[in-house]
Structure 1
Amino acid sequence: MEMKAGVGTTKDVFAEWFSDRPKWMQTAAARLATSRQMPPPEAIRALADLSVAEANGVDAVFETMPHGLFGTAVGADAFKLRKLDKVVGVNAIRENACLDFGSADLSVVFGMNGSGKSGYARLLKHACGARHKSDLLPNVFNAAKTGPSCEVTVESGADSNTFEWKAEPDGLAPLRSIHVFDTTAAASYVDSKNLASYEPRRMRFLSSLILICDAVAEELANRKTALPKSFPAVPMEHTLTAAATFVSQLRDTTKPEALEAACAWSAENLEARQDIEKALKQHDVAARSKQLDLDKRRLALFVASYDVLKLAASDEETSKLLKSKREAASKRKAASEDAAKVFAGSALDGIGNASWRLMWDEARKYSEAAAYPGKDFPAIGEGDRCVLCHQPLNDEAKNRLSGFETFVKGGLEASAAKAERDYADAVVGLPSLPERAKWKLDTDFLKVEPAAGEALYDAVSARLAAIPKAEAAETLPPVDWTAVDAAIAAASGAQSKEAATLEELAKDGKKAELEKQLKELKAREWLSQQKAAAEKEICRLAAVRRLEKAEALAKTNALTTKKNELARDELEAGYQERFLAELRALGGTRLKVEPVAVPEGKGKISFKINIRGAVLKASAGSVLSEGESRIVALAAFLADITGSGQPTPFVFDDPVSSLDQEFEERVVERLVELAKTRQVVVFTHRLSLLALVEDAIDARKRAATTVPVLSVITLRSFGGSTGRVDELDVRHKKPKSGFIAIRDHKLPKIRAHEKAGNASEYDSALKTACGDFRILTERSIEKVILDGLMERFRRSIQTKQLKSLTKINANDCALVDSMMTKYSKFEHSQPDELAGVLPTPDELAADLDRVIAWIDEFEKRAA
């Protein structure tokens, strides 16, 4: 609110600024202020109707923004995250696991590595719709692919509500104000710029209104898309005509009389068009002549290949080839018979047949190329060897090899070999059919019936394939060439006739003038046929124009400008102040860092952490150490989230990672302070953090200040699954309550195992109880005898507790020493020869009663 100058009344400047916005936008703002939620699709359509009405001067009922709406800030109701239940499909967390936070203000979820803490933290990030979240995987060692899901219970005052989450990517709406800090979130604050998640109420209102305006603009755009142009495009042959010019200038303002004149078409126009067409006969001589030349060349190419096929498949050529085949066979027979006579006395049969000749030819190649280059084959000189068996040649062998070569080069054998080569060359020379698709294109070009063209292709293919196997031409499949022959003749004749016509027409000097007149008449005739479509197009253009006017009223420039102004005034400065305050609280005053605003348009403001005073340009992440980056990220996170003033829960997954002792103590103090005003959940595996939290709580109790309620939840892994809550964990309890838990809960189960004869379960449970006894005895030194004067993982010494030392006597020391000695053997490993014997349940019970009674008596002593 602001005061008018010199006037004692206040005015709502924000509402007055809204009064200058379009009326439909004021209506949207008024409805948003009332409903406080995004309007449904039907409401968006109604707002789009209002914007169209306003843009085109149509009467409509509009609403105005109520004054004083943003006079005071409105906070969200405080709530707590009560529990995660029925967890399924999340890492190795056991099915239907439950993590109950109770009503505590500060919950510390403790567990060793691999106990399920990160799984629960990841689940919370997804359920809350966090910006920075990793994939949520099921148990990778389990073949079952179960999707993640859980039930989340939230408490607000006395009310409790349970919501089911089933992997919704945006999380559950009631949980979106819960913020999670982990390593990924920390890295994003230091290594990149981040959009501040908190916005003052007026900025949030403008953000929502911008979304509504965008939705209305999208609705208007969809309506334009639903009005597609139905008027046909002007055909290419009608370009550069009066009709085409008229169509290009068609507008929503085109007068009916202008349309009537442009579309006029009479009987006289039709008669004139027919007369010109008759005179020209061909309306485009040059183009047609060019195309005709291409068609002639295409026909000539086809005929050339077609004639080759036809000749090769003819009876005459086929008879020649088969004759060559018979001659080769006859000559081979004569050569074989001659070889049988010549080599009748040979020691081996088959000399002169095909396999022998192949061997002989290869032997010749080997001899001339490698064994005896430069010598005639066969080499039978002094010292030469047989190229086949590598044995020395005697006179008989030399004569035999010479006889073989004489036979091979002799008349009958040479004649047979030549005849076989001639036949083989003739078969290889048979032409191949073109690809079927090419054949179809060519026969379609000739206007051959598709079935006839396919039949001829198959017949020629079958005949060519059968030729090498045939013995006589009469046995080959027949081929009917008549359909294609006729088509070739018809095409050739038509081309010749058309060429003569075009040549004659080119001599007409009036051609160009007549063609122009004919083009205008055809275009006008086409436009006369589209008169109804033109009238419809004019109506469509008018509707589009109305929507475009409405789109101009839906622009968000003014809203964005206003939001940027608010961002500078309310967000940017406030964030920087909060960041520096958080950095001081966390002990990071020595760190030279500062947040710098980065505008991103549409009113969005991001913040990037810069190194203050740096001479060289460098990112914060590359300068700061890992621990320093963690503190800076935590300060940025808290400054970002706490700016809203809303008491929403915080979740921290291992917040003190990489921090030294001083930073860790500062962080713990800040978490405990936060827990005074909101729920804080911390996941950790560090005993030091747990000890520091307990110490901070105790310190506040001693100072009689506001103390948040603390709960410690211990997780463990067991049987291949994680995320199990250790209901009987006593090691993090105060000594007295821990001893009582052993006596009242664990001891009865030990006795039950003893009674049932379950030896292994009995031993395991008793050993665990003895180990817990020893840990609690050790903690009794810190918590009971020293009364918190000094503890592990804590640097400070509580000097006010010095007076408790006066209560200690020798009996106290003897009791603690005896119990530590007795039960240490069950907590620490022992050599086999000194292995301890487990106490009986009765003995353990007696020791428990003795220690509990001692604690009660010690605490009542006067200091």
Structure 2
Amino acid sequence: MKAIAAVEVQKDVFVEWFFARPKWVQTAAARLAASRKFPSDVEIGKLADLCVAEANGVAGAVFETVPHGIFGAAVGTASFKLTKLDKVVGVNAIRHKASLDFGNSDLSVVFGMNGSGKSGYARLLKHTCGARHKSDLLPDVFSSTKTIPSCDVVISTAAGKELLQWQGDSKGFPQLRSVHVFDTAVAESYVDSKNEASYETRQMRFLTSMIKICDAVAALLSDRKGALPKKLPLVPLEYSETAAASFIAQLKDTTTSIALNDACAWTLTDDELRLETETSLKKHDVAERIKRLGLDKRTLMIFQEAYDAMKLAVSDAEVAKLVAARKDAAAKRKAAVEDAAKAFAGAALDGIGGASWSLLWEQARKYSESTAYPEAPFPVTDEGKLCVLCHQPLDDAARGRMSDFESFVKGGLESAATKAEKDYAAAIATLPRVPDQVKWDLHMEFIKVPAAVGSALRTAIGLRLEAIPKTDGAIPLPEVDWSVVDLALDATAAAQTKETAALEELAKDGKKAELEKKLKELKARQWLSQQKNAVADEIIRLAAIKRLTKAEGTTKTNVFTAKKNELANNELATGYRDRFVAELKTLGGSRLKVEPVPVSEGKGKVSFKLAIMGASKETSAGEILSEGENRIVALSAFLADITGSGQPTPFVFDDPVSSLDQEFEERVVERLVELAKSRQVIVFTHRLSLLALIEEAAGKSVALSINTLRRVGPNVGMVDTLDVRHGKPDKGFIVIRDQKLPQIRKHADTGDGGAYDAALKAACGDFRILIERTVEKILLNGLVERFRRSVQTQQIKSLAKITVDDCSTVEEMMTKYSRFEHSQSDELPGTLPSVDELSADLDVVITWIDGFKKRVA
């Protein structure tokens, strides 16, 4: 019997690469591959536990490995379609509770003239899909009502329809993240700046998720470390440089319980030794006492200096000097007065030279020199000058008197008297004040003078100071007995000197330093014994921190980033470039020398910027290309970026052919129709040419639906449910006659003039458009049509049916209704026809078309 050979599973190089990663990382990868979703917080916690267990060699941890073959087949995204935007509120000027139905067609065109609400719907789609390049979604700026934007999004999947309710503050639905919107903002982001690739291979997406998982585990481990704060108190500063402080400084997670018990040991004998040492130090606290004595000596010196100065100032010798100065000033003043009396014996007034007169003269001098005549020496006796005392003109006699007065003042006797008086006043001013009561009492206490004795001495000093300025030497001054303070000062100074000498002598044998060191060590060890439990907890905490830190080292993501960059260079970059070249060729831009260049940004992020090939200096594509070329390049980059995933994600294009010429526009239409064969494509446009080209290109190969948006008064975004412009002309005229006219008549019956005029004008405009379509579809039978390159030569024979009357009918109706489709001069405003007149014209055209179609060419 032959043995059955085992089926060999082909090895996956990418999976093999994972086998070199930590086991917990392999476990995370295996679980991610199996679940295909990012782990929950609980699952991240379990991965963190495995990470710590592996890093620290904990037995019993169960790990998983990544199986081969998990990346063998691509995993697709479930296809869906955007079916409807419903109950739109607070979006630009779009009508409240408006609705836009895309239906179930593969290609949906939303057509509308400028200002009809297309961009509002496109912006809303970008917000509901969470697009990157989206602008703020503003409400109606002309409305005072504050409304939060909201809407319902209906999507259809294989399981049926699903309703998603969106609010303005949300970030978009995860289900709609695969919907991609192309508009001007997106176009600019591709051409004018680097743009992060939105497509990644499955392996790259897997690595992106693994990076996020590692970061989440690292963050959780960091949080766990943060949840283990240090509770051990700091070693008090006074216990620094002790054995206890050294033990704390060298504390590790490996510190044993034996070492802890030895360091924290504290017995009754240790406590008795501490008390004994403290008692000894109280007797030999040399350094502290010397320091205190130094402060006391300074205090004594300051008081001694102030005391001696006061004692000298009120001494009999100094008082005698003051009395002599007073007598000298009086004598000199008397001599000056007598001299003035002689000099001015014939003066009109008495007292010249006296104290009052001298004061008056000096004040007059100050006034003259500072204010009246600052430029001339006092007294000013020039012709025409005024007296500074009476402000009267000076005659010859007055000038003479002024000069005589000044000569007298400047003379010897008066000058000597003035100086003697100033010297006496200055001497009196230097007398000390009575000592402050509080400070005096403190000083008396410091030198051990009884409070009553000190207070009596202060009172005596005050009485003597009060009497000194008044004495003339004839009456004895109050006496002050300084002896008590003198003796106290000498005794205090002697005691300080003696104690200082004794302490300095005591410090020489080093006993104090020895006792201090011994007490410091004892107190530090006692403190450490009190912290034993906290120290034990700290050892446990350090061990936990070490385990977590070791585990954190295995969460580094640099290997994933390097691997992802490698994949990007090997797969994504090359693939994106090829897709871009292919898209650019398809859209007719092969002549444009533009290429995408990958830019690595770390953490596995890969971006692309568009560069000019062969340029002599680095220049952005946006600076070189024309506006139309920029648009076609941006569209190529967008399609290359998004289609690389191969997933049938819906595309939304807001005015995709802006600034494009006819050739580019046709190429874009062909690409849009081709895209619609594999996914839903929604196009917003205001260009009839684009609509016509899409209708022709879609043909019968792609299901096409068209929504026409209108603006009626202040309301925009209104879907024209009776749109007649894109169907067959004969049916369009019938719709106007049978459906729109009854609504217009209803407005007339209810008296709603605004609605009546708007509806009637819109119907007239539709009439005008349908007349043009009649020329293309009825008269020419599709031979040539606007915005279409081809000519259907097989229809030439139908031209034989046309008569002069046919031309007249078309010309008459075209002329009559053109004024409702095109703007008119203010001087010649268009007048709306009546409902009956429009009805009659409709009957004429409908009858004529019916007859024309029955003719045989």
Tell me the TM-score normalized by structure 1.
Answer: 0.72
1:642 Cα offset (Å): 0.6
What residue is the counterpart of 1:595 in the other structure? 596
What pairs up with 1:767-782 in 2 under 5 angstroms?
Answer: 767-782=761-776
What pairs up with 1:190-201 in 2 under 5 angstroms?
Answer: 190-201=191-202
User: CA separation in 2, counterparts of 1:593 and 1:725?
Assistant: 41
User: CA separation in 1, counterparts of 2:43 and 2:171?
Assistant: 23
1:643 Cα offset (Å): 0.6
The residue type paired with residue 23 of structure 1 is K
What residue is the counterpart of 2:27 in the other structure? 27
User: CA separation in 2, counterparts of 1:297 and 1:181?
Assistant: 89
User: CA separation in 1, counterparts of 2:721 and 2:659?
Assistant: 30
What residue is the counterpart of 1:676 in the other structure? 677
Q: Is the Cα contact below 8 Å between 2:207 and 2:560 reproduced in 1? A: yes
User: CA separation in 2, counterparts of 1:282 and 1:737?
Assistant: 123
The question of 1:714 aligning with 2:709 is answered yes
1:131 Cα offset (Å): 1.5
Gapped regions of structure 2 (runs ≥ 5): 1-5, 306-365, 406-428, 430-491
Q: Is the Cα contact below 8 Å between 2:670 and 2:697 reproduced in 1? A: no
What residue is the counterpart of 1:539 in the other structure? 540
Q: Is the Cα contact below 8 Å between 2:194 and 2:610 reproduced in 1? A: yes
The question of 1:852 aligning with 2:849 is answered no
1:162 Cα offset (Å): 0.7
User: CA separation in 2, counterparts of 1:760 and 1:722?
Assistant: 16
Q: Is the Cα contact below 8 Å between 1:91 and 1:140 reproduced in 2? A: yes
What pairs up with 1:239-388 in 2 under 5 angstroms?
Answer: 239-281=240-282
Pick which of 838-847 and 143-152 moved more. Answer: 838-847
Q: Residue 103 of structure 2: SS of its match in structure 1?
A: coil
What residue is the counterpart of 1:437 in the other structure? none
The residue type paired with residue 217 of structure 1 is A
The residue type paired with residue 603 of structure 2 is K
Pick which of 268-277 and 670-679 moved more. Answer: 268-277
Q: Is the Cα contact below 8 Å between 1:364 and 1:378 reproduced in 2? A: no
What pairs up with 1:86-235 in 2 under 5 angstroms?
Answer: 86-157=87-158, 159-235=160-236
User: CA separation in 1, counterparts of 2:289 and 2:153?
Assistant: 79
Deviations 1:304-356 (A, max 9, x none): 9xxxxxxxxxxxxxxxxxxxxxxxxxxxxxxxxxxxxxxxxxxxxxxxxxxxx
The residue type paired with residue 42 of structure 2 is E
1:566 Cα offset (Å): 2.8
User: CA separation in 1, counterparts of 2:138 and 2:632?
Assistant: 29
Q: Percent same amino acid at aligned positions?
A: 62
User: CA separation in 2, counterparts of 1:697 and 1:97?
Assistant: 26
User: CA separation in 1, counterparts of 2:523 and 2:682?
Assistant: 82
Task: Give the alignment partner of residue 698 of structure 1, picking from 696, 699, 702.
Answer: 696
What pairs up with 1:624-663 in 2 under 5 angstroms?
Answer: 624-663=625-664
1:278 Cα offset (Å): 4.3
Q: Is the Cα contact below 8 Å between 1:104 and 1:711 reproduced in 2? A: no
Pick which of 808-817 and 269-278 moved more. Answer: 269-278
What residue is the counterpart of 1:750 in the other structure? 744
User: CA separation in 2, counterparts of 1:377 and 1:830?
Assistant: 101
Q: Is the Cα contact below 8 Å between 1:114 and 1:717 reproduced in 2? A: no
Q: Residue 11 of structure 1: SS of its match in structure 2?
A: coil
Gap change, CA 1:798 and 1:22, over 3 Å in 2: farther
User: CA separation in 2, counterparts of 1:637 and 1:178?
Assistant: 13
User: CA separation in 1, counterparts of 2:271 and 2:658?
Assistant: 91
1:160 Cα offset (Å): 0.5
Task: Give the alignment partner of residue 730 of structure 2, picking from 717, 720, 736.
Answer: 736
User: CA separation in 2, counterparts of 1:580 and 1:282?
Assistant: 98
Q: Residue 601 of structure 1: SS of its match in structure 2?
A: coil
Q: Residue 115 of structure 1: SS of its match in structure 2?
A: coil
User: CA separation in 2, counterparts of 1:820 and 1:739?
Assistant: 14
What pairs up with 1:471-510 in 2 under 5 angstroms?
Answer: 507=508, 509-510=510-511
Gap change, CA 1:84 and 1:765, over 3 Å in 2: closer
User: CA separation in 2, counterparts of 1:514 and 1:836?
Assistant: 117
What residue is the counterpart of 1:607 in the other structure? 608
What residue is the counterpart of 1:42 in the other structure? 42
Deviations 1:673-726 (A, max 9, x none): 2222211222233x2xx323322432452xx6x22413133142632x433333
Deviations 1:610-630 (A, max 9, x none): 221111122222232332222
User: CA separation in 2, counterparts of 1:798 and 1:367?
Assistant: 117
Q: Residue 252 of structure 1: SS of its match in structure 2?
A: coil
Gap change, CA 1:834 and 1:87, over 3 Å in 2: closer
1:40 Cα offset (Å): 1.9
The residue type paired with residue 36 of structure 1 is R
User: CA separation in 2, counterparts of 1:245 and 1:573?
Assistant: 62
Deviations 1:153-211 (A, max 9, x none): 11114611111112345311111111112222222212222221111222222222322
Pick which of 658-667 and 190-199 moved more. Answer: 658-667
User: CA separation in 2, counterparts of 1:188 and 1:295?
Assistant: 82
Deviations 1:423-478 (A, max 9, x none): xxx9xxxxxxxxxxxxxxxxxxxxxxxxxxxxxxxxxxxxxxxxxxxxxxxxxxxx
Deviations 1:95-141 (A, max 9, x none): 32222222232223233333333322222212111112222233333
The question of 1:727 aligning with 2:724 is answered no
Gap change, CA 1:603 and 1:761, over 3 Å in 2: closer
Gap change, CA 1:572 and 1:834, over 3 Å in 2: closer
Deviations 1:811-850 (A, max 9, x none): 4322211211232344456679977765443442233233
The residue type paired with residue 29 of structure 2 is A
Tell me the TM-score normalized by structure 2.
Answer: 0.72
What pairs up with 1:493-532 in 2 under 5 angstroms?
Answer: 507=508, 509-532=510-533
Q: Residue 664 of structure 1: SS of its match in structure 2?
A: helix
Gap change, CA 1:760 and 1:531, over 3 Å in 2: closer
Gap change, CA 1:627 and 1:386, over 3 Å in 2: farther
Gapped regions of structure 1 (runs ≥ 5): 1-5, 305-360, 407-425, 427-491
Q: Residue 710 of structure 1: SS of its match in structure 2?
A: strand
Q: How many residues align?
A: 711
What residue is the counterpart of 2:560 in the other structure? 559
User: CA separation in 2, counterparts of 1:635 and 1:285?
Assistant: 92
User: CA separation in 1, counterparts of 2:137 and 2:63?
Assistant: 48
What residue is the counterpart of 2:474 in the other structure? none
Pick which of 236-245 and 630-639 moved more. Answer: 236-245
Q: Cα RMSD between the aligned structures? A: 4.7
